């Protein structure tokens, strides 16, 4: 009965690889987000989706591509991974006011 779930929890990969992170919410929310938390714990918005449509795309390299197959899912695909992509990625969904976060995916690029 987890509200916002992400898989995998940990992801270790080599530079240049392509990887995906999956996010699902069972809260019935229309709006979902991807945030990046760097090594200094700064949290920055990457993407915002409302009812499967991209609303906000912050200054993120086009190697990052979100996909929303339905409003309960927002996946993040990353091409040609770089060392600087190492971070914790959080998915979130929002009701009328409040954002609820997933447990995070720690991505390590070697």
Partner 1 sequence: AQSVAQPEDQVNVAEGNPLTVKCTYSVSGNPYLFWYVQYPNRGLQFLLKYITGDNLVKGSYGFEAEFNKSQTSFHLKKPSALVSDSALYFCAVRDMANTPLVFGKGTRLSVIA
The site for partner 1 (CB under 8 A) is made up of 4, 31, 33, 40-45, 48, 50, 55-56, 90, 92, 96-104
Identify which of residues 10 and 15 has a Cβ nearer to partner 1 in the complex: 10
In the complex, minimum distance from the CB of residue 108 to partner 1, in angstroms, rounded to a whole number: 14
Dihedral (Cα; 27, 54, 33, 43), 10-degree rounding: -170
CB 87 within 8 A of CB 107: yes
Residue with token string 């996010």: 23
In the complex, minimum distance from the CB of residue 80 to partner 1, in angstroms, rounded to a whole number: 26
């Amino acid at each position: 009965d987890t509200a916002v779930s992400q898989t995998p929890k940990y992801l270790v990969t080599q530079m240049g690889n392509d990887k995906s992170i999956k996010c699902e919410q069972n809260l019935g929310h229309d709006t979902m987000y991807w945030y990046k938390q760097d090594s200094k714990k700064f949290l920055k918005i990457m993407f915002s989706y409302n009812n499967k449509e991209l609303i906000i795309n912050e200054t993120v390299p086009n190697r990052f591509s979100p996909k929303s197959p339905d409003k309960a899912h927002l996946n993040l695909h990353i091409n040609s991974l770089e060392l600087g992509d190492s971070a914790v990625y959080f998915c979130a969904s929002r009701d009328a006011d409040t954002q609820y976060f997933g447990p995070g995916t720690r991505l390590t690029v070697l």
